[in-house]
Amino acid sequence: MSPIKQPTKLPKTAIEILKVLYVDENNPNSIEIADIFKRRGIEIDSRTVRYHLKQLKNIKLVKNIGRKGWSLTEEGNRYIRKLMVYERLGNPTPTFNNLVFGCSFNLERFEGDVPSNVVFIPKERFEEALSILESVSKLKIFPSHLLAISDEGEKLGGLTVPNNYIGIGCISSAIYDVVFLKNGIYIEPLATGIYEIIGGQPVCFVELITHAGSTISPGELLIKSGHTSVSSIVETGSGYVTAAIRRFPSIFYEVAEKITKKMLHAGIEGVIEYIDQVPDYERIDLSDVSKSRIVVYGGGNYFAPLVEKNLVKEIHINATLIDVSEMKTPLSLK
């Protein structure tokens, strides 16, 4: 589908409506949109909202969902993302926030939805992909070796698998954000980079991208641009993976350590190191003075070899929530 010609200028109210629909994935109606404006101190009645929605629909930036709700079209999403590029810089995406704050995962019972990365494999290459994932699953360079699989036309979490493809989901490193938050600790995604592995042991970061300096997933960017070599780690024990730095107030260090030990006991792995007090030479900004860190492997490492071997081009990082009860080991999926 070729992109439509985008309008060069929209009324301010129309732009604000697009921003509301970009952030709110619950498909609000005109009355709910007007209420959102009111809570922000902006007096716009629902009739005015309906007028602008009609105009936006005419230029294919929004669409009806059900009888009353509204959402962005693909063109509308692309348009507002361009318009908000500087506002999005350094801020978690609405999808990421919805995954973390709306996640139902319970660590103690190991049940509920988990934030997941997704790939779509051409059907004719599925067996090859599954064999690769089976080899990779023996490594401990991602949160979990569990996978969920759905056939074409079926749902994988909140996504529908395209025709002639098989969808595969794995647990994202955002699982740490979820579990920490449910234990009263907000951990801040600070940076993602390339971590060197030698002889099966993690050594150090060799590249870093701060989340404050990116509008897309740094892990996805690093994998797509060919910076990982997980296939080499499978074969030789050495190579490069993605890893993420998350930070939190130092007063919670002991609590955070206990939480990650509980996660390990439950089968959620992937912690490289804890840092109680960040050394001067590792500080990224002034806030690091009073912060602790946890460094974890990226969940996208599981699927990185599929990109490295050209089975897929895209890894959809933090794409959806998947019920952990639907996940199994690669061997169980054969």
Each domain of the chain, given as residue ranges in start order, spans 12-88, 90-334
Please give the pLDDT value at position 175: 94
- Confidence at residue 278, expressed as pLDDT on a 0 to 100 scale: 82
Give mean pLDDT, residues 234-250.
94
On average, the pLDDT of the chain sits at 87
Check whether domain 90-334 has CATH 3.20.20.70, yes or no: no
Rounded Cα distance, 178 and 260, in Å: 12
Please give the order of strands across the beta sheet that includes 201-210: 201-210, 188-198, 239-249, 291-297, 271-275
Q: Does residue 63 have a pLDDT over 60?
A: yes
Structure tokens at 24: 């709110």
210 bridge partner residues:
191
Q: Is the pTM of this model over 0.85?
A: no
Q: Which class would CATH give 12-88?
A: mainly alpha
pLDDT at 289: 80
**What per-residue confidence (pLDDT) applies to 124?**
95
